[in-house]
Structure 1
Amino acid sequence: MTRPSQAIPQDMPSWVLLPFVLGTFALTWGIVGSYILFPETMAATFGQISGAHPLFFLATWAPAISAVTLIVVRTGWRGLRAFLSRLLLWRCAPVWWLIILVGVPLVFVAGSLIKGGPVLAPLPPEGAGPMLALMGMMLFLGPVEELGWRGLAQPILQRHMAPIWAGALIGATWGIWHLPAFYLAGVVFADWAFLPFFIGNVTLAILVTPIFNSARGSLLLPMLFHWQLINPFWPDAQPWDTWILLAVAAGIVWWRRDSLFSRTGAATEVVPRPAAG
């Protein structure tokens, strides 16, 4: 008999998706909105916002903060440990590792070459050191979002709809969630156009879906995929990177249409139950 202290945590119910989304938007839009509406007051109180500002990290981590809070409240610390065990899931079809490690960089290189740019992003005068430091920092920025998007939202949505629609819905939500940052001076989004970015978000969320399911709900692979998208060594390829990724995603959707349009085999656990024995 399992002792109460060793009870297996129950998985997250589907209704937590609503407080997850509300909490994610409230934290991010609250921080970013304050800098948009009260720029002088916020700058005087907390300093000028930038991509390295602690509040920018906090706003970026909102999906993870919202998801982890709900998991701890519902399942306790044992549930959180079980949830984080999904970071150790790495086995999947080799083609997905190839796409993450080789395919994504090639998209940026090809897009840059099409627009007459370099193969790699130019190094700063100080050399590769600052770029390596930035690359390390990026690992703890955008990829942490995946604890929310792929950690909680994707498996819950896949209980109720086919993976492709779950991915598309998350991508659209992800894109809208970024919207205030396009009106925020001092961050990279201020120089981008929102529509291509939104299309790119939906495309990327669909593209990562078969990777996520092939690895049985892995958190590691989506985080590495996200990291590659913001790797500072890859050159600026806008807007060609969006259109190339759109073409790649269309091909993968056609290739994997049997699994993407069916809930059979889709990962639906947020908090995995330990294997028997």
Structure 2
Amino acid sequence: MGFIMSVSLDHRAPRVPAAALLAFLVLAFAITWGVIGSYIYWPDVMTARFGAISGAHPFFFLATWAPAIAAFAVVLLFGGLSGLRGFLSRLLMWRCPAPWWGMILVVIPLVFMAGSLIKGGPLLAPIPPEGVGAVVALMFMMLLLGPIEEFGWRGVAQPLLQRFMAPVWAGALIGAIWGIWHLPAFYLAGVVFAEWSFLPFFIGNVTLAILVTPIFNAARGSLLLPMLFHWQLINPFWPDAQPWDTWLLVGVAAVVVWWKRDMMFTRMGAVTEVIPGEART
């Protein structure tokens, strides 16, 4: 029996150590803050050499993808190609209790609609002159922006933090880090963040990171569901509901935390694996 157990353990994926969290954060911040900071401090030089930055500029994609790039680097370092394959297999994990699918598909859109109505806006975002097709194309393009970040935030950071703290605190900490990571964009002309106020955005990041945490754990570490959650937040069909969407989401998060307090304030059942089947040694 002991021999059989040792053989099975030998076939497990190598464990990504908790110290990898620091490497992940350093690399993610270095890429994003390096790219965006260059445009803030040397705007004329960067614009002359690489063109004005905007939401469609390759450097904007690079800055946005930094958490994913850092996540892949960490997984490759500690797990190799087989570890990366295991990591990416989390994209195929779709099984989750129905209420969490309802949160993604129904509650999030309703929050935007309600927030818009409160401020006297429409139920859905106005259709541009180019027609519905342009909005659909933009919606799918959004899959290549914010949702890609989830390879880092939920792919690496959440499991590593949940080895040491309850999910609610892990989510709150990731949300705070997530908000600070965005900070340079608020000083950059030519992108949407330049028109926003940072404090409500920061509060929203913390709230959203807490709200996606029980979805992530209920889906046993799925990357698919957090990505769909993130996608809904930037879906161009939903109307502008600022700042009411933030305050409504704070209320929704408070209800969810109270409702699932048994899983939010204890590490029992929390996902701690970056690579499925990691060795425990």
- Structure 1 length-normalised TM: 0.96
Say whether 1:131 aligns with 2:135: yes
**What is the match of residue 104 of structure 2?**
100
Q: Render the CA deviation track for 1:118-144: whole Å, top value 9, x for unaligned.
A: 111111111011111111110011000
2 CA distance for matches of 1:48 and 1:249?
38
**What is the match of residue 154 of structure 2?**
150
Kindly state the Cα deviation for residue 69 of structure 1 after the two structures are TM-superposed.
0.7
Kindly state the Cα deviation for residue 8 of structure 1 after the two structures are TM-superposed.
3.6
1 CA distance for matches of 2:133 and 2:15?
43
Kindly state the Cα deviation for residue 245 of structure 1 after the two structures are TM-superposed.
0.2
Provide the alpha-carbon RMSD of the alignment: 1.4
Say whether 1:14 aligns with 2:15: no
**What is the match of residue 275 of structure 2?**
271
Letter in 1 for 2:176: A
Consecutive unaligned residues of structure 1, counting only runs of 5 or more, are none
Letter in 2 for 1:205: A
Kindly state the Cα deviation for residue 7 of structure 1 after the two structures are TM-superposed.
4.7
Say whether 1:77 aligns with 2:81: yes
Say whether 1:259 aligns with 2:259: no
Candidates 94, 99, 106, aligned match of 1:90 = 94
Letter in 1 for 2:242: Q
Candidates 50, 56, 64, aligned match of 1:52 = 56
- Structure 1 outlier segments of 4+, above 2 Å: 6-9
2 CA distance for matches of 1:130 and 1:47?
25
**What is the match of residue 240 of structure 1?**
244
2 CA distance for matches of 1:185 and 1:130?
25
Candidates 17, 26, 32, aligned match of 2:30 = 26
Letter in 2 for 1:197: F
Candidates 193, 196, 201, aligned match of 1:197 = 201
- Structure 2 length-normalised TM: 0.95
| Matched pairs, number | 272
Identity, in percent, stands at 70
8 Å CA contact retained: 1:88, 1:220: yes
Consecutive unaligned residues of structure 2, counting only runs of 5 or more, are none
8 Å CA contact retained: 1:11, 1:272: no
Which secondary structure does the structure 1 equivalent of 2:19 belong to? helix
Q: Render the CA deviation track for 1:158-187: whole Å, top value 9, x for unaligned.
A: 000000000000000000000000000010
Letter in 1 for 2:75: I
8 Å CA contact retained: 1:131, 1:233: yes
Candidates 138, 141, 163, aligned match of 2:167 = 163
2 CA distance for matches of 1:9 and 1:267?
16
Letter in 1 for 2:245: D
2 CA distance for matches of 1:10 and 1:45?
43
